[in-house]
C-alpha cells in the first residue's frame, strides 16, 4: 500500500482553500473531474494529505485548517462536500530567519513543504527553504520570488538529496495559456497578427495587491506571451471585489488572412484562479514526493511545464 | 526561372474571386500577409496564374474573369488593388459527360484543374475529373463530393502519372479549426468538458444552400469535431444576407477544473469564408503542380492537412 | 385580510414549474428578488395559490403538482427551497370540446384559469376558455393562439363580467425586449443602423417544437422588432439540449455615427425562459383576479405591456 | 438664406478632426448617416463652418486646419472624403490670462467659441471664456472643468446676452449611455441587479492622460451611473495604442429574475470616441448660435441632455 504524501503548506489563502477542499471532494466522491494527472509515479490524488499549515494572520493561527480557509480575505467558495476537521491547527508562520529552527521542528511529520504565500517576500521564501533543508523535506516555491532559480540554494538541495521545485506556478488554465494557444493557432494557420489585447479582472486579495504594482504583473504577463508579443497589449489588471475568487479575462485578436481580409477573435474566459493553482500544486507535490522517495534531490524537469520560471530562466 | 503554374478553375464563385484578387494583390504589393506557405517546393504564390475558368451562369460566360467574379450572387468584397483584365474569358462549363471532350480541349494550356464549384453534384465533379485525365492535367476536388476517395478513379490518375488531390477543402481558419483547438487545449490542461456549442452564421450563396439541407452540414461539422464530440452541439446554420461573404461563429465551452469549479469560454469568430478557401487552394495548386512536374501521379500526402476527407476516409 | 387568489393552471410544463417553485420560494424567504410588481391592486405575490392543474401526460396525471413539475421533458431546475406537497393532484386535461363540462366542474374552487400549455392548439385553447365561461372564472391565454383577439369571445366574457387576458405573453426579460431596447437607444442617440442579427438557442421542449416550425417563430420574432426591422435578421432557432431551461441569445448591432464611423455592439444574453414567463404570469393572474373582484369583465388594458398580441392586434 | 454659423475651436485634437472631417463629408455627400438632429432651430449641419482654431503645439500652429488635424498624437482616421484646405491656419492658443485680448481679437469673425481642449486646465478654460465675453461670442465648454457651473461667470454671460453652454460633453454613444440604458431596462422589467462591471480601453492621447489619473475618471464614470451604482464596478482604464481612436468597452450585468434564477448580459461596444464628441458638438454649436441670434444669453436648457454637468450640478 502506498504511504500518504504528507504535505505542509505555507499560506492559508484561497489557493490552500482550493487544495484542501478539492482533496476532500475527491476523497468523498472519487470524482476525477478537472484532474490533470490521475496518477503521478504511482501516487494518486487521494494519496496526498495536508499535515501542517503556517500562516501569519492572528485570526487564522490556532484554528483548524478546515475553518481557517474560510476566513477573510479568503473568498474561494465553499465546495459542495463535507469538510470534517482534519486536526491540523494553523501554526504561526515565520517572520524572519531566527525562526527557522522552530518551523523546521514543526515539519517533523512532513515530507514536502509547499510554499504558497503571496509573491513579493523573497527573504521569507528563502527562510522557509532553509527550514526545509534543516528538516530534510522537499520544497516547492509557487511564488515569483527566486528560490529554485538561485543556483547556490539549488546546489544545497541537490547535495542534501532533497527536491526543490519552482519558481512561479503556471495556472492549470489561465489567460496566458489561452492567449498563447490562440496566437500559436493563428501562426500555424498562416494568418498575420495585426493586434491583440488581454484584460484581466479579479476579486481576490492577490488581485488587489497586484493592482498596486501593475507594471510588474503586466511585464510578467507580456513575458508569458513570447509569440508575436510586439503586437500584443496587456491592459491594467482590474480589481473587482464582486468577482470574488473568479477571474474574468477578455481577449481580442485581430489578424489578416488571404487577400489581407480580416479575421477577428473575441474571447471571454471565466475561471476560479485558486482552482487553477491547486490543480497544478497537486501535481507538483506528487512529483516532489516521488523524487524524494527515489532519492533524487534538486530540480525535476518533470515540473517544467507547471512552472513559469524554472531554474535557468532569468531572475 | 520558374515556369508559371497554369491553373484552370471550375466555378466562378466567391472562392475564385478571393483567389484571383488575392493573387493580383500579392503581385502588386509583394505582401506576404495571411499567406501560410510562402514557397511550396520552389513555387511562390506569384508563380500561380489562372489561365481558364468554367461556369454555368449565362451572365458570367464570355466575360473576362476579372469582371465575372463580381457578378451576383458573388459577394466577396473588392480588394484594395488594381485588377487589370487577364484576357481569360469565362468558358461554358459542362452539364453532362458528353461535354468532356470539349472541356478537355479547353484545358490545352492548363497544368492543374481546380474544381471549386458548389458541393452536391458528384456526377459533374467526376466528369471534370475525366476531362482532366483526357487532357493530361492534375485535378483538385475542393468539394465534399467523393472523387479522390474513389479508389478506381485514383488508380487511373496514378497510372496516368497525374496528381489527384481531394476531397473537401479544410478552411485556412474556420470554426472547426478553432473549436478543435480549444477542445484539445482543455483536454491537455486536464479540464473536464461539460458542454459546448457552436453557431455558424453567413451570407453567401453557399450558406443559403446549406441552410436548405442542414442535417448534412451539421453532421459534417460534428464529424470535424472528434474530441469530446458527445458533449458538443452544433446549432443550425443561419443564412444572414447582411453578412455577405463574412462568416460569424459563436462558440461556447463549459468545463470543470480542480474542485469541480467551472471554467467558461465564450468566443466570437469573424472571417471571410472565401479567403479561408483561397488561402488553402493556393497551396493545393502548388502541391499538384510540383507533383506533376516531378512525375508523381495520384495522391500526395502533403495535402492531407488541407483536406477534410482525403483518400481512405469514409465516403 | 386579503383572500387568496385561487388559480387553476392548464399545462404542467416548465413555466408552471417556475411559477409553483417561485411562489414557494417567496413564501419561505419573503424574498422580493426578481419580482416586478410587489403589489398589484392590493394583491401581493404571496396571495396567489395554485388550486388546480390540468395536463395530458399520463405520467403527470394524478401526481401531486409539486412532483409532476419535475417529470420529463420538464427541465427547469429545482430551486433552493423546500417544496411541500400542496395537495393538488394533476387533473386530466381536455382533448376536445365534449369535455368542457368536466373541466368546468373541476374549476369550482378557482377564480382564474391560467392557460399555459404549448402554443399551436387553438381549438384546445378555446375549449378551456369555454370551460372558464361555464365555471364563471377569469381566463388568461399565454399562448400565441388567438383567444382574447377573438372579438366574439371577448364580448361573451364582457357580458358575463369575467376578465379575459391575452394573447401571447411577453417574457419579463427576453431577446425581443433587449433587442428592441438597443435598437431604440441607437435611434435616440442619432446613430444609423446598418445591420443587426439575433440568434436564439435553448434546450426546452418548447424550443424543440419551435425548431420544427421555424418560419412561424422567426416571423413572430421579426414582428416583435418594429424598429428598423428591415435591417434586422433573425437566425433559425437552435435546439441545444445541454442548455436545459436556459436560453442563450447572441445579438449584434452594427451602426454608424458622426462621420459615418462604425459603432458595434455584441451582446450575449443568458436567461431561464420559464422564469421569464412565470414573472409575467404572476402579474397577469393578479390583474385578472382584481378585475374579477371589482366586477370588470373583458380585457384590462393594464395587461397590455405584458402581452405580445393583445386584443386589436392582427390574428 | 441662412447665414453660416461661424465657429472658432480651441484644441486641434481628435475631436476637432472628427468635427472638421465630418462636416466635409456631409457637405460632399449630403449624407445624414449618424446625424442626431438634422436641423436645430432652422440650422442644418452644413450651415456650420469652422473659421478659426487655436492650439499650443508648435507643429500645428500656422498649418492649415485641414492638415493640422492629422498630426500626431492625433489618430482619428482619415475619412473617405476630399478635404480641401479651408484657409484657416491654426493660431497660437493662450497660455495665461494676459493673452485674452489677443485671442479675443482673433475671434472677430466668429460667432461661437467651442472649447474642445483636454480636461484638467480650469484656468485656461476660464481665460478662453473671458476672451469670448470680450469678443462678444457664445462659449461652449466641453471639458469637465467648471465654467458654466460657475454662477458668477454664468451671470456675466447672461448680462452680456451671450450664450454659455457646458460643462462636460456627454458622448453621442458611449459606455455610460449604454450601461445606464441596460441598468434601467433591468429595473423596468423588475430584475434585481446582483453585480455589474465595465472596462474601457482606448488608444487616444486622452486615454493615455486619463490612465495617469485613474481615480478621477473612475469616479466620474461611477457618477454617470446613478442607478444601482452600489453594485456597479468600473475597472481601470486601459491605454492600448493599437486601438487608436477607437474605444472598446466590455460590460457585464448579472441579475436575478423570478425564482431568483440568474440573468446574464455580456456586451462588447466598439466606437470612435472622437465621433461621439463631434456628433454632440455639432448640436451644441447650433444651439449656441440660435440662442445668440435670438438674443438669449446664458444657459439653454435644450443643451442639458448633451452634457454631463450642466449648471446646477456639483462642481
Closest CB from A201, A233, A252 relative to D235? A201
| D256 reaches C (C-beta below 8 A) | yes
Residue D18 burial class via C-beta count within 10 angstroms: exposed 0-12, middle 13-18, buried 19 and up: buried
Which triple of cell numbers denotes residue C42? 392590493
The answer to whether B240 contacts C233, with C-beta atoms less than 8 Å apart, is yes
pLDDT in tens, chain A (315 residues): 679 999 999 999 999 999 999 999 999 999 999 999 999 999 999 999 999 999 999 999 999 999 999 999 999 999 999 999 989 999 999 999 999 999 999 999 999 999 999 988 999 999 999 999 999 999 999 999 999 999 999 999 999 999 999 999 999 999 999 999 999 999 999 999 999 999 999 999 988 888 876 555 555 666 666 555 678 999 988 999 999 999 999 999 999 999 999 999 999 999 999 999 999 999 999 999 999 999 999 999 999 999 999 999 887
Residues of C in contact with D255 (CB under 8 A): 34
| A23 reaches B (C-beta below 8 A) | no
| D197 reaches A (C-beta below 8 A) | yes
| A216 reaches B (C-beta below 8 A) | no
The answer to whether C252 contacts B250, with C-beta atoms less than 8 Å apart, is no
The answer to whether A262 contacts B272, with C-beta atoms less than 8 Å apart, is yes
Cα dihedral A203→A206→A212→A217 (10° resolution) = -110
CA B56, chain centre distance (Å)? 19
Q: Which of B175, B233, B244 to mutate to test the interface with C (most CBs of C within 10 A)?
A: B233
Residue C218's pLDDT is what?
58
For A237, which residue in chain D has the nearest alpha carbon?
D236
pLDDT in tens, chain D (315 residues): 678 999 999 999 999 999 999 999 999 999 999 999 999 999 999 999 999 999 999 999 999 999 999 999 999 999 999 999 989 999 999 999 999 999 999 999 999 999 999 989 999 999 999 999 999 999 999 999 999 999 999 999 999 999 999 999 999 999 999 999 999 999 999 999 999 999 999 999 988 888 876 555 555 666 666 555 678 999 988 999 999 999 999 999 999 999 999 999 999 999 999 999 999 999 999 999 999 999 999 999 999 999 999 999 887
| C248 reaches B (C-beta below 8 A) | yes
The answer to whether A259 contacts B272, with C-beta atoms less than 8 Å apart, is yes
Residue pair B185/B253 in contact by the 8 Å Cβ criterion: no
The answer to whether D258 contacts C35, with C-beta atoms less than 8 Å apart, is yes
The answer to whether A195 contacts D242, with C-beta atoms less than 8 Å apart, is yes
Rounded to two decimals, the pTM is 0.95
The answer to whether D257 contacts C275, with C-beta atoms less than 8 Å apart, is yes
Residue pair A211/A239 in contact by the 8 Å Cβ criterion: yes
Sequence-ordered list of residues with C-beta below 8 angstroms from that of B85, at least 6 positions apart, any chain: B64, B66, B67
The answer to whether B258 contacts A264, with C-beta atoms less than 8 Å apart, is no
The answer to whether A278 contacts B268, with C-beta atoms less than 8 Å apart, is no
The answer to whether C268 contacts D269, with C-beta atoms less than 8 Å apart, is no
Question: Which residue is it, cell 486536526?
Answer: A87
Residue D211 burial class via C-beta count within 10 angstroms: exposed 0-12, middle 13-18, buried 19 and up: middle
| C46 reaches D (C-beta below 8 A) | no
Residues of A in contact with D215 (CB under 8 A): none
Residue pair C181/C265 in contact by the 8 Å Cβ criterion: no
Closest CB from B197, B243, B248 relative to C240? B197
Least confident of A22-31, B68-77, C114-123, C217-226: C217-226
Tell me the pLDDT tens digit for each residue of B207-233: 888 887 655 555 566 666 655 567 899
Residue D238's pLDDT is what?
93
The answer to whether C233 contacts B250, with C-beta atoms less than 8 Å apart, is no
Q: Which of D256, D259, D274 to mutate to test the interface with C (most CBs of C within 10 A)?
A: D259
Residue C210's pLDDT is what?
82
| D264 reaches C (C-beta below 8 A) | yes
Residues of C in contact with D34 (CB under 8 A): 190-192, 255-261
Which triple of cell numbers denotes residue C67? 412532483
Q: Which of B19, B258, B285 to mutate to test the interface with A (most CBs of A within 10 A)?
A: B258
Residue pair D307/D167 in contact by the 8 Å Cβ criterion: yes
The answer to whether D242 contacts A231, with C-beta atoms less than 8 Å apart, is yes
**From the CA of B91, how many Å to the nearest CA of chain A?**
25
* Sequential DSSP letters for chain C: -PPPEEEEEE--SHHHHHHHHHHHHHHHH---TT-S-SEETTEEGGGEEEEEEEE--TTTTTSBHHHHTTSTT--PPPPSS-----S-BEEEPPSSGGGHHHHHHHTTT-SEEEE-SPSS-HHHHHHHHHHHHHHT-EEEE-SSS-STT-HHHHHHHHHHT-BEE-SSBPPSS-HHHHHHHHHHHHHHTT-EEEEEEEEEEE-SHHHHHHHHSHHHHHHHHHHT--TTGGGEEEPPPEE-GGGTTEEEEEEEEEEE-GGG-EEEEEEEEEEEHHHHHHHHHHHHHHHHHHHHHTT--B--GGGGGGBSS-TTS--
Give the Cα separation of D275 and D283 in Å (integer). Answer: 13
Q: Which of A207, A250, A253, A266 to mutate to test the interface with D (most CBs of D within 10 A)?
A: A250
Closest CB from B231, B238, B241 relative to C236? B238
Residues of B in contact with A270 (CB under 8 A): 262-264
Residue pair B237/B207 in contact by the 8 Å Cβ criterion: yes
Q: Which of D240, D246, D267 to mutate to test the interface with A (most CBs of A within 10 A)?
A: D240
pLDDT in tens, chain B (315 residues): 678 999 999 999 999 999 999 999 999 999 999 999 999 999 999 999 999 999 999 999 999 999 999 999 999 999 999 999 989 999 999 999 999 999 999 999 999 999 999 989 999 999 999 999 999 999 999 999 999 999 999 999 999 999 999 999 999 999 999 999 999 999 999 999 999 999 999 999 988 888 876 555 555 666 666 555 678 999 988 999 999 999 999 999 999 999 999 999 999 999 999 999 999 999 999 999 999 999 999 999 999 999 999 999 887
| A263 reaches B (C-beta below 8 A) | yes
Give the Cα separation of B216 and B197 in Å (integer). Answer: 17
What one-character DSSP code corresponds to residue A174? -
Mean pLDDT value across residues C7-13: 98
Residue C217, pLDDT above cutoff 60:
no
Residue predicted with more confidence, C229 or B46: B46
Closest CB from D32, D186, D267 relative to C267? D267
Residues of A in contact with D200 (CB under 8 A): none
For A247, which residue in chain B has the nearest alpha carbon?
B263
Residue B33's pLDDT is what?
97
Give the Cα separation of C244 and C18 in Å (integer). Answer: 13
Side-chain half-sphere CA neighbours of D2 within 13 A? 18
The answer to whether A191 contacts B181, with C-beta atoms less than 8 Å apart, is no
Question: Which residue is it, cell 446582483?
Answer: D194
Give the Cα separation of B209 and B118 in Å (integer). Answer: 9
**From the CA of D275, how many Å to the nearest CA of chain A?**
22
* Sequential DSSP letters for chain B: -PPPEEEEEE--SHHHHHHHHHHHHHHHH---TT-S-SEETTEEGGGEEEEEEEE--TTTTTSBHHHHTTSTT--PPPPSS-----S-BEEEPPSSGGGHHHHHHHTTT-SEEEE-SPSS-HHHHHHHHHHHHHHT-EEEE-SSS-STT-HHHHHHHHHTT-BEE-SSBPPSS-HHHHHHHHHHHHHHTT-EEEEEEEEEEE-SHHHHHHHHSHHHHHHHHHHT--TTGGGEEEPPPEE-GGGTTEEEEEEEEEEE-GGG-EEEEEEEEEEEHHHHHHHHHHHHHHHHHHHHHTT--B--GGGGGGBSS-TTS--
Give the Cα separation of D315 and D308 in Å (integer). Answer: 11
| B185 reaches A (C-beta below 8 A) | yes
**Within a 10 A sphere around the Cβ of C177, how many other Cβ atoms?**
18
The answer to whether A195 contacts D268, with C-beta atoms less than 8 Å apart, is no
List, as ranges, residues 140-169 from C with C-beta within 8 Å of B: none
Closest CB from D33, D261, D264 relative to C192? D33
Closest CB from B233, B240, B241 relative to C242? B233
The answer to whether A236 contacts D238, with C-beta atoms less than 8 Å apart, is yes
Give the Cα separation of D141 and D149 in Å (integer). Answer: 10
Cα dihedral A184→A186→A192→A197 (10° resolution) = -70
- Show which subunits contact C, needing at least 3 CB pairs below 8 angstroms: B, D
Residue pair D201/D238 in contact by the 8 Å Cβ criterion: yes
- Show which subunits contact B, needing at least 3 CB pairs below 8 angstroms: A, C
Question: Which residue is it, cell 523524487?
Answer: A291
Residue pair C169/C224 in contact by the 8 Å Cβ criterion: no
Give the Cα separation of D114 and D111 in Å (integer). Answer: 10
- Please state at what angle helix C122-135 crosses helix C151-160, rounded to 10 degrees: 20
Q: Which of A15, A116, A258 to mutate to test the interface with B (most CBs of B within 10 A)?
A: A258
Give the Cα separation of A290 and A43 in Å (integer). Answer: 8
Q: What is the ipTM of this complex?
A: 0.95
Amino acid at each position: 500500500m502506498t504511504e500518504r504524501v504528507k504535505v505542509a503548506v505555507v499560506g492559508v489563502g484561497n489557493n490552500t482553500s482550493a487544495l484542501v477542499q478539492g482533496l476532500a471532494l475527491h476523497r468523498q466522491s472519487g470524482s476525477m473531474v478537472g484532474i490533470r494527472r490521475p496518477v503521478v509515479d504511482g501516487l494518486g490524488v487521494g494519496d496526498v494529505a495536508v499535515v501542517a499549515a503556517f500562516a501569519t494572520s492572528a485570526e487564522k493561527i490556532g484554528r483548524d485548517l478546515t475553518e481557517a480557509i474560510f476566513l477573510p480575505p479568503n473568498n474561494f467558495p465553499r465546495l459542495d462536500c463535507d469538510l470534517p476537521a482534519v486536526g491540523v491547527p494553523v501554526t504561526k508562520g515565520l517572520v524572519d530567519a531566527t525562526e527557522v529552527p522552530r518551523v523546521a521542528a514543526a515539519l517533523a511529520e512532513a515530507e514536502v513543504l509547499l510554499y504558497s504565500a503571496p509573491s513579493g517576500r523573497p527573504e521569507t521564501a528563502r527562510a522557509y527553504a532553509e527550514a526545509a533543508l534543516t528538516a530534510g523535506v522537499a520544497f516547492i516555491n509557487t511564488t515569483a520570488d527566486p528560490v529554485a532559480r538561485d543556483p547556490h540554494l539549488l546546489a544545497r538541495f541537490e547535495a542534501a538529496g532533497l527536491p526543490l521545485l519552482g519558481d512561479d506556478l503556471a495556472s492549470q488554465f489561465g489567460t496566458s495559456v489561452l492567449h498563447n494557444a490562440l496566437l500559436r493557432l493563428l501562426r500555424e494557420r498562416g494568418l498575420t497578427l495585426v493586434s491583440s489585447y488581454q484584460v484581466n479582472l479579479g476579486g481576490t486579495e492577490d488581485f488587489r495587491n497586484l493592482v498596486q504594482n501593475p507594471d510588474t504583473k503586466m511585464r510578467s504577463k507580456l513575458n508569458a506571451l513570447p509569440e508575436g508579443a510586439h503586437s500584443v497589449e496587456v491592459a491594467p489588471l482590474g480589481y473587482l471585489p464582486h468577482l470574488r475568487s473568479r477571474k474574468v479575462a477578455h481577449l481580442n485578436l485581430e489578424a489578416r488572412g488571404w487577400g489581407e481580409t480580416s479575421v477577428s477573435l473575441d474571447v471571454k474566459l471565466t475561471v476560479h484562479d485558486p482552482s487553477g493553482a491547486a490543480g497544478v500544486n497537486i501535481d507538483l507535490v506528487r512529483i516532489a514526493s516521488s523524487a524524494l522517495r527515489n532519492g533524487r534531490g534538486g530540480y525535476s524537469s518533470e515540473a517544467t511545464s507547471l512552472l513559469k520560471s524554472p531554474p535557468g530562466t532569468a531572475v
